[in-house]
């Protein structure tokens, strides 16, 4: 039986963090990492009804591919946690950059993180630093 590939956020010593909260987020992103995406984008728009409209995709060699949000994925919660892990503020409507670490399979990898904020929309852009 092949070994299952895992994707998690890790702290400085390589320990997985926020596993319960972020597992659905990373399950959503896993196909993009498996395909060695150059960029992964999560966009959350707050509709007039108060509902969150979510778009998740990845970019590789100029082509964009959709990602399907997994069960239990809560985009606003995930966005806040990723911002904290990346050293960013959780205040709304701030364009910011940061860095975080993930474990993808057996590899620890830095990720450049950017938050592009507009009125009622936040887009989180992850750029894995492939070796």
Say yes or no to pLDDT of 88 above 60: yes
Q: Is 100 within 8 Å of 82 (Cβ atoms)? A: yes
Structure-block tokens of residue 78:
């995930």
For residue 31, give Cα distances in angstroms to 45, 58, 97.
23, 9, 24
CATH number 3.30.450.90 given to 7-128: yes
Q: Using a pLDDT cut of 90, give the percent of the chain over it.
A: 49
Between 47 and 4, the more confident residue is: 47
pTM (global) more than 0.75: yes
Residues 99-113 pLDDT 10s: 999 988 888 899 999
Say yes or no to pLDDT of 3 above 60: no
Rounded mean pLDDT, 4-10: 67
Angle in degrees, CA 11, 18, 27, rounded to 5: 105
Domain extent listing, the chain: 7-128
Rounded mean pLDDT, 47-59: 89
2 band by pLDDT with thresholds 50, 70 and 90: very low
- Name the one residue in this structure whose structure tokens are 């409209």: 53
């Amino acid at each position: 039986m092949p070994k299952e590939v895992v994707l998690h956020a890790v702290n400085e010593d390589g320990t997985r963090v926020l596993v319960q909260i972020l597992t659905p987020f990373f399950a959503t992103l896993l196909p993009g990492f498996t395909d060695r995406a150059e960029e992964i984008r999560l966009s959350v728009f707050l509709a007039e009804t108060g509902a969150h409209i979510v778009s998740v995709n990845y970019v590789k060699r100029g082509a964009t591919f959709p990602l399907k949000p997994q069960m239990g994925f809560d985009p606003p919660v995930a966005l806040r946690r990723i911002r904290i892990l990346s050293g960013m503020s959780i205040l709304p409507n701030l364009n910011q950059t940061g860095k975080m670490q993930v474990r993808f399979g057996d590899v620890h990898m830095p990720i450049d993180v950017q938050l592009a904020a507009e009125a009622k929309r936040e887009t989180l852009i992850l750029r894995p630093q492939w070796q």
